[in-house]
Structure 1
Amino acid sequence: MPFVKHPAAAEPRWHEWDRKAQKSGLRHTVFAVTGDRYTGEWLDNLRHGKGTQIWKRTGAVYSGDWKFGKRDGYGSYSIPDPVTKEYKKVYTGWWKNDKKCGCGTRLYGGGERYEGEWSGGQRSGWGRLYRRDGCVYEGQWRRDRPCGQGMLRLPNENRYEGGWKDGMKHGPGKFFYLDTGQLFEGVWAADVPKYGIMIDFGRDEAPTPTQYPIPKIELADPDGVLEEARAMFDDSQK
């Protein structure tokens, strides 16, 4: 007599349980062994779609888009205040591969705020930083620091416009002393002006102009003098 397999024994019961345990499409809440908690959508047993992650150790919360287990898309990251325990958003914007990437706003302590572009979790591209001391930098960034062309505006409205490198003034630039009605135009290196010229600029509108105007400098070849100074400075940097 041939052997007949019972229908109920066609598949082990644990196969059915395993299929039910696979999270895909629907919203689920899952706790990790660390106590971290995720509530949201899944795909192939990975966080994918809309969801919220809470880290138990820090209390931090991310709410937004996920892609194959990583933050990817638009979302916000919040942390609890150490004193009041109330949650405050520290970053709102775009993510890629679990890092800030694209346009976003980052809030720091003391009212400091950055609005602009990110890459690989660092400020990179164009952005504006409102510093806690009242200064505002607007311009290019690279590896989390001002680098390229940018403008720094001081609380008294004086401002610098020009080159930057590693977060410091570097290269050709102009510093407008609007409080005294003067302008310095020259070249900086590591935040230090190396050479340039100072002229009166908007002296009549300045709130506190200097007592005496800057006398005009008469040179036979002012452009040649500046070019020679620039060449000497470039040689010293080699």
Structure 2
Amino acid sequence: MPIVKYPRAREPLWCEWDRKAQKCGLRHTVYAVNGDRYTGEWLDNLKHGKGTQVWKRTGAIYSGDWKFGKRDGYGSYSIPDPVTKEYKRVYTGWWKNDKKCGYGMTFYPGGEHYEGEWSGGQRSGWGRMYYQDGSIYEGQWLQDQPGGLGMLLLSNENRYEGNWKDGKKHGPGKFFYLDKGQLFEGIWAADIPKCGILIDFGRDEAPAPTQYPIPKIELADPDGVLAEAQAMFDDSQDE
């Protein structure tokens, strides 16, 4: 009995068109309905690899790594200056799932900038912040604020070293008043010193020392008194 060969069924034209429309691997420029533009690599119709996105409404530009449609890897984000129209860097560093994550540097209005670790789009981990008034904070961050151990160096060289919580001095710490030649060591709560000891420290080299030295403490047990007061205010061990 002869073998009958039937013609192979041809796939619908829309399947072929859809397959050809799939952007995969190669670089393409695609415009969104709202005018946004992406030029770069694709995978299964998603931004994936190296690419540049331009947002029409704000003029902002991101150039760097993408993963399945989201910023992921290393990249930089810039915005145009409203007056000069020149582009200014806002963030350069690592991203994950479309948010700042890992080490990166951010530039704020007024000349302030931060360099350090990020998590979920917030400053988190170890980092250094340069403020507009000339002061510098270096230490631990939590939920976009100083939290943990850190040092705040003021523009006049005075500095605080110790614990922080919610962006404020909180817990054991030392404040060096180098302009006066004094040192305060004690416990802080929400930026307010609650108890501690104030002593002369480098008074002879201080540019504006106090008129008289701090008198000697005459308590029978000054360390015991301080320890008792510190235990009353120090809640940093319970967190």
TM-score normalised by structure 2 residue count: 0.93
The Cα of 1:234 is off from its aligned counterpart by 5.3
Instruction: Output the CA distance in 2 between the equivalents of 1:233 and 1:109.
Output: 37
Aligned to 1:176: 176
Instruction: Output the CA distance in 2 between the equivalents of 1:3 and 1:50.
Output: 48
Aligned to 1:219: 219
Aligned to 1:122: 122
Superposed counterparts of 1:1-238, under 5 Å: 4-5=6-7, 10-233=10-233
The Cα of 1:10 is off from its aligned counterpart by 1.5
TM-score normalised by structure 1 residue count: 0.94
The Cα of 1:230 is off from its aligned counterpart by 2.1
Q: 1:175-201, CA deviations, whole angstroms, 9 ceiling, x for partnerless residues? A: 000011100111110000011111000
Q: 1:69-124, CA deviations, whole angstroms, 9 ceiling, x for partnerless residues? A: 10000000001111111111100000000000000000001110000000000000
Instruction: Output the CA distance in 2 between the equivalents of 1:10 and 1:156.
Output: 81
SS at match of 1:10: coil
Indicate if the aligned counterparts of 2:186 and 2:230 stay in contact, CA closer than 8 A.
Answer: no
Instruction: Output the CA distance in 2 between the equivalents of 1:223 and 1:97.
Output: 52
RMSD: 1.6
Structure 2: runs of 5+ lacking an equivalent:
none
Number of paired residues? 233
Instruction: Output the CA distance in 2 between the equivalents of 1:187 and 1:3.
Output: 92
Amino acid at match of 2:120: G
SS at match of 2:224: helix
Instruction: Output the CA distance in 2 between the equivalents of 1:189 and 1:124.
Output: 22
SS at match of 1:58: coil
Instruction: Output the CA distance in 1 between the equivalents of 2:234 and 2:86.
Output: 54
SS at match of 2:25: coil
Q: 1:133-155, CA deviations, whole angstroms, 9 ceiling, x for partnerless residues? A: 11100000000000001000110
The Cα of 1:4 is off from its aligned counterpart by 4.8
